[in-house]
Structure 1
Amino acid sequence: MLSFNGVLLDVLSLATLALAAWALADALIRPAAGYVAAGKLTKPGWGAILALSLVVLLLMGPMSFLGLPAVIAAIVYLVDVRPAVRGLSRGGSSW
């Protein structure tokens, strides 16, 4: 029998895995010069952080001691770093 808590935890786990995978894939396709130009951590640095986050979420899940920092790292990349690097790769205009 399926319980609501079990299904909710499964959905949360899959959502955080998808979030971390999206952040890692996006970090790997952005040019390395964009990170430096935006004044952010380097591309290998963000790649390592996000890869480690993905491994932690795969092995331990989002509700573990290291799961929350892993999710926060992916969110920081997507909310702060990605827009800065993406804006520079487009030439800095919003059009």
Structure 2
Amino acid sequence: MWLVYQIIYIAIFVTSLYAFIEALRTPAPAYAAMDKQTKKLWVGLLGVATALSLLAVVSGTGMLTFLALIAALIFILDVRPAVRNVGRSEGPYGPW
């Protein structure tokens, strides 16, 4: 059973790390343009989520890792699609 939890914790860590990196890569004005809070808030929230999920992987226990997963999934499924293409000029066949 311990191995199953460890696999879940690793999956949550990878998900939150991906969301954290995407939050860092997105320009700050894109968040304001799409009314999705601020970049500082998302980077801070996802940084804490990534740290909590890494702690769960290392220690093997993690009560708060599912909260980290929820924060990462909200960013990936709601915020990232909204702010991804703000400010980019794209033609009908891709970027020009």
TM-score band by shorter chain is 0.7 to 0.9
User: TM-score, length-normalised on structure 2?
Assistant: 0.81
CA distance in 1, matches of 2:54, 2:22: 19
Note the aligned Cα RMSD (angstroms): 2.3
Q: Mark the CA change 1:91 to 1:59 in structure 2 (over 3 Å): closer, same or farther.
A: same
Instruction: Give unmatched runs, 5+ long, in structure 2.
Output: none
How many pairs does the alignment contain? Answer: 91
Moved over 6 A (4+): none
Given that 1:87 and 1:93 are in contact with CA atoms closer than 8 Å, whether structure 2 keeps it comes out as no
TM-score (norm 1): 0.82
**Structure 2: distance between partners of 1:76 and 1:87:** 18
Residue of structure 2 equivalent to 1:10: 6
More strand, by proportion: 2
CA drift of 1:60 comes to 3.5
Instruction: Structure 1: give runs of 5+ residues left out of the alignment.
Output: none
